[in-house]
Amino acid sequence: MTMTDITKTAALFLALNLIAFSIYFHDKQAARNGGWRISERLLLTLALIGGSLSALAAQQILRHKTKKEPFRSILAAILILHGALATMLALAPL
C-alpha cells in the first residue's frame, strides 16, 4: 500500500467518522426537541461501515442511547469486531 493509498484511506475514515458523529448529534437534538429521529438501524450501520469510534464518542459525549438495549450491546460488538480487524491488519505480514 502506497503512502497515497494510506492518506486516502485515512481521509475517508476521518470523513466517515465526522459524518457519523454529526448524525448522532442531529438525532440527539431531535430527541430533545421532539423532532424527526434517525433510525437505530442507520446509526448502527454508520458504526459498522467504519464510524464506530465516533459512534462511541457521540454516545458518551452526548449521553445518547447509553442505556438503550440492544443498541448498546450491538455497538459494543461492532467495536470489538473493528478492534479485532485492526489487530489482524496490524499483525499481518507485508
CA distance readout (Å), 40 to 53, 54, 57, 84: 16, 15, 16, 24
Return d(Cα 11, Cα 38) in angstroms, integer.
Answer: 25
Summarised one tens digit per residue, pLDDT across range 33-42 is 999 999 999 9
Indicate the burial class of 51 (C-beta count within 10 angstroms; 0-12, 13-18, 19 or more): buried
Judged against a pLDDT cut of 80, whether residue 94 lies above it is answered with no
Confidence (pTM): 0.89
Summarised one tens digit per residue, pLDDT across range 45-60 is 999 999 999 999 999 9
Summarised one tens digit per residue, pLDDT across range 57-87 is 999 999 999 999 999 999 999 999 999 999 9
Read out DSSP for 21-85? HHHHHHHHHHHHHT-PPPPHHHHHHHIIIIIHHHHHHHHHHHT-SSS-TTHHHHHHHHHHHHHHH
Task: Please give the helix or strand (H or E) that residue 15 lies within, else none.
Answer: helix 3-33
